[in-house]
């Protein structure tokens, strides 16, 4: 039986995503009503600049008092798309206290303080949904939280930032340097005027924290995630990857330890084989691999950002939360029963691609190999090439070493020891190798 009294929705933020949410709520009103079992009504929109013209939104709904909006006793669902830590955190908690469930796209807040927000939602018997916080339109949070709830997830590996993937893809396909590729991404609207959150890996690290927490049923905060950006990736790194049959991607990697007693979460650029499905993810697209014990390997692919894709995820959550509201029963909340510790990056076992500038004379390779042996790191392949244009008295060569898998701490120690060799003129690049 269809309920005639509408469910009232408050929208916090009306930028690129918020305006798309409002538009879809209006243009798809009849379909949303049929899918939910009751009409939904946009009851208020909180913004910072009320004078801005917002096409398709009744000016009477606009307010600058977000606190008063979420305190209204008749609001059923609050959609938060303003981002940042405050005032978003306080507004979400206030919404719970006054009877509203919350749909959020705020990855930074959830990665920083998701535990307390889940606790507040549970205390007040409300929902906290956030599909849009991780991979835009790609359904990922709900499959991990619900579809795979009966399985054991061991690894989540993926590309979760469209800006960095666009930049690295352009460097790979056109031979452009980092700065050139970033300028193109900015011109096309893929990169913000200040791209720090993307290119330094903060955005991907927040998403990795959320994914690891859901996948492994434990609490992982952004501070637990090892983070490296792409600003140091060079055209030479990309070319070297090509010679190995690889490409370079910024990866978010969340893993359960082999003994099941801990987890790791990390974000860094890595070389992956061209045969790996993630290698073919182009431009600003996202893709995530989930490896589960019973289900095996699953891949989720699609646009990971943008107004319409992100709004799609928000509206999906809105439908689910409204259905729960009608059934008077909240959906699944936080699952953190395993309480697994997050291991430091030094404990992670991985491979390295190390490019060295060395003196071009006999015995150098033996010295380098000795350092690796002393650190307990096994060498997989070595490639050395002289530089005929070198101005050094002894001449100079490029020496590329690819290791077998070893603890990251041992590999880091190896690099530090190499820097102390007189015959090593410099460490041109260091990059991990994944996906094999």
Strands (E), 235-292: 246-256, 263-273, 285-292
CA 363 to chain centre: 44
Rounded to 5 degrees, φ, ψ at 286 are: -115, 155
**Of 207, 249, 361, 420, which one is the catalytic site residue?**
207
Burial 420-436 (b: 16+ CB within 10 A, else e): ebebbbeebbbbbbbbe
Is-catalytic flag, 207? yes
Which is it for the CA torsion 90, 317, 211, 82, positive or negative? negative
Of 412, 426, 416, 422, residue with least CA distance to 356? 426
Sequence-distant (≥ 6) Cβ neighbours of residue 152 within 8 angstroms: 292, 293, 294
**Contact present, 186 and 163 (Cβ < 8 Å):** no
CA distance 168 to 7: 44
CA distance 40 to 25: 8
30 burial type by CB count under 10 A (0-12 exposed, 13-18 middle, 19+ buried): exposed
Strands (E), 47-115: 62-63, 77-80, 101-104
CA distance 44 to 13: 10
Give CA separation, 25 vs 20, 39, 40, 83, in Å: 8, 10, 8, 20
Sequence-distant (≥ 6) Cβ neighbours of residue 98 within 8 angstroms: 70, 71, 72, 73, 75
Give CA separation, 245 vs 178, 241, 274, in Å: 21, 6, 6
Catalytic residue list = 207
């Amino acid at each position: 039986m269809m309920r005639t009294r509408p469910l009232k929705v408050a929208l916090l933020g009306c930028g690129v995503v918020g305006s798309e949410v409002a538009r879809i709520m209006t243009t798809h009103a009849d379909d949303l009503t049929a899918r939910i079992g009751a009409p939904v009504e946009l009851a208020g929109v909180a913004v910072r600049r009320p004078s801005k013209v917002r096409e398709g939104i009744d000016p009477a709904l606009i307010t600058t008092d977000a606190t008063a909006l979420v305190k209204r006793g008749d609001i059923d669902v609050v959609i938060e798309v303003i981002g940042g830590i405050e005032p978003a955190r306080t507004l979400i908690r206030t919404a719970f206290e006054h009877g509203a469930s919350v749909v959020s796209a705020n990855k930074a807040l959830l990665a920083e303080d998701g535990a307390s927000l889940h606790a507040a939602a549970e205390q007040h018997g409300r929902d906290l949904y956030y599909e849009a916080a991780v991979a835009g339109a790609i359904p990922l949070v709900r499959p991990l939280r619900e579809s795979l709830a009966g399985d054991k997830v061991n690894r989540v590996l993926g590309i979760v930032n469209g800006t960095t993937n666009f930049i690295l893809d352009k460097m790979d396909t056109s031979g452009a340097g980092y700065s050139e590729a970033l300028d193109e991404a900015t011109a096309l609207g893929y990169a913000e005027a200040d791209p720090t959150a993307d290119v330094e890996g903060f955005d991907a690290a927040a998403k990795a924290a959320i994914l690891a927490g859901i996948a492994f049923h434990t609490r992982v905060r952004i501070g637990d995630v090892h983070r490296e950006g792409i600003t140091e990736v060079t055209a030479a790194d990309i070319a070297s990857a090509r010679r190995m049959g690889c490409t370079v991607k910024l990866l978010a990697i969340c893993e359960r330890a082999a003994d099941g007693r801990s987890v790791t979460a990390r974000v860094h650029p890595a070389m992956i084989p061209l045969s790996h499905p993630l290698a073919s993810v182009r431009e600003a697209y996202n893709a995530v691999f989930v490896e589960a014990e019973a289900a095996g390997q699953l891949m989720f692919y699609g646009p990971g950002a943008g107004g319409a894709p992100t709004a799609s995820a928000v509206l999906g959550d809105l439908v689910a939360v409204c259905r729960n509201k009608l059934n008077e029963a909240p959906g699944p909340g936080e699952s953190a029963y395993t309480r697994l510790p997050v291991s430091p990056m030094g404990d992670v076992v991985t491979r390295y691609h190390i490019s060295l500038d060395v003196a071009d004379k006999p015995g150098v390779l033996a010295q380098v190999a000795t350092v690796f042996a002393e650190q307990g790191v096994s060498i997989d392949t070595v490639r050395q090439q002289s530089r005929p244009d070198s101005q050094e008295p002894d001449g100079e060569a490029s020496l590329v070493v690819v290791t077998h898998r070893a603890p990251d701490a041992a590999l880091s120690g190896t690099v530090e020891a190499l820097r102390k060799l007189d015959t090593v003129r410099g460490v041109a690049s260091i990059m991990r190798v994944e996906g094999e």
